[in-house]
Amino acid sequence: MLYDLAGIDVRADGPVRVITLNQPDTLNAISEDLHGQLVALWRQVEQDDDCRAIVLTGAGRAFSAGGSYEDFERRRVDLAARRRSLRLARELVDGMLNVAVPVVAAVNGPAVGLGCTVATLCDIVFMADSAFLADTHVSVALVAGDGGAVTWPAMTSLLKAKQYLLTGDRLPAAAAVELGLANFVVPGDRLLAEATAYAHRLAAQPPQAIQETKALLNQHLKASAVRTLALGLAAEGHSHDTPEYEAIGEQLKKQEH
C-alpha cells in the first residue's frame, strides 16, 4: 500500500479503500498533527491507481469531535501555529474537493466542528441512526470559516445554514437527511457494511465517467469556496484574538482540572 499516515488507518477492500480516523481516545479530534495527516491522505489517494472509491469513518464512539482543544490556547498565543492551522484548513477543503474518486462518509457518531465539515465535504453521506452533525464554531467564539459556510448553504438553504451555523445546534441523522446534508440513515451495526457496499457500487461505474461527473458537480462547491473561504479563514484567524475566545479557553482549562 502507498499510505503512510499516523492516526489514520487505510484498508483495501478490492477497489475500495476503507479509511478510518483512528484516535478513539480523543474522539478523533483533529489535532494539528491529524489535520496534516488528513491533508496528506488525499494526496496519497491520488497516487493509488487501483483505488476507485473511498469509505471514510471514525473509530470508537465518534466520527470526529472537531478541532482539538489542546490546540485552543496555542492558536491564541502562537501566531505561527495559527497561520499553519489556517493553511491546513484551506488545503483540506481543496484536497477533498479535488480528489478524483468518490468518497462515502460513514458517520458512526458525532461529527462536530471541523469533523462536521469533513463529513459534508464527502460525496455520499451515510449516518448511524444515533449520530449527529453540529458545526459549533460560533459557540466556541470562532467564525465558521473553514468550510461550513461553503457546504451548508449549497446543500440546504441559506436560512437553514444560518440557523445551524449561528447556534451550533445538533442536527440528528434523520434531520440531516431531510435537510440535504446526508443521504442515508442506517442502524449503527450496519453502517460500515452498507456504506462499503455503496462504495463498491460506485467503484464499479466506468471510472472516467464517474470521476469527471463528480469533478463537474464539485465546481459548484469550488465556486462557493472561491467566494467565501479566504474571507472565512481570515475572519476565523481574527477570532483567536477576541476576549470571548480567551474566555472559552479559560473555561476549558478549568474543565481539565
| Angle, CA 166 vertex, CA 112 and CA 118 arms, to 5° | 30
Which residue is it, cell 470571548? 244
Helices (DSSP H) in the chain: which residue ranges? 32-46, 72-77, 79-98, 114-120, 148-155, 158-165, 173-179, 191-203, 207-239, 243-256
Q: Does position 188 have pLDDT exceeding 90, yes or no?
A: yes
Q: What is the pLDDT of residue 256?
A: 62
Going by pLDDT thresholds of 50, 70 and 90, the confidence category of residue 257 is low
Output DSSP code: residue 181: S
C-alpha grid cell for residue 200?
Answer: 463498491
pLDDT digits (tens, 9 = 90+) for 125-143: 999 999 999 999 999 999 9
Contact 145, 90 (CB under 8 A): no
CA 113 to CA 65: how far, in whole Å?
A: 7
Of the candidate CATH numbers 3.90.226.10, 3.90.1150.10, 3.40.50.261, 3.40.50.2300, the domain formed by 8-207 belongs to 3.90.226.10
Residues 6+ apart with CB under 8 A from 43: 95
Supply φ then ψ for residue 9, to 5 degrees: -100, 140
C-alpha grid cell for residue 118?
Answer: 469533513
pLDDT digits (tens, 9 = 90+) for 79-118: 888 899 899 999 999 999 999 999 999 999 999 999 999 9
Cα 25–chain centre separation: 18
Q: What is the pLDDT of residue 140?
A: 92
pLDDT digits (tens, 9 = 90+) for 4-52: 898 999 999 999 999 999 999 999 999 889 999 999 999 999 999 999 9
Contact 185, 173 (CB under 8 A): yes
Residues 6+ apart with CB under 8 A from 147: 89, 92, 93, 114, 117, 120, 121, 229
Residues 6+ apart with CB under 8 A from 24: 58, 59, 60, 61, 62
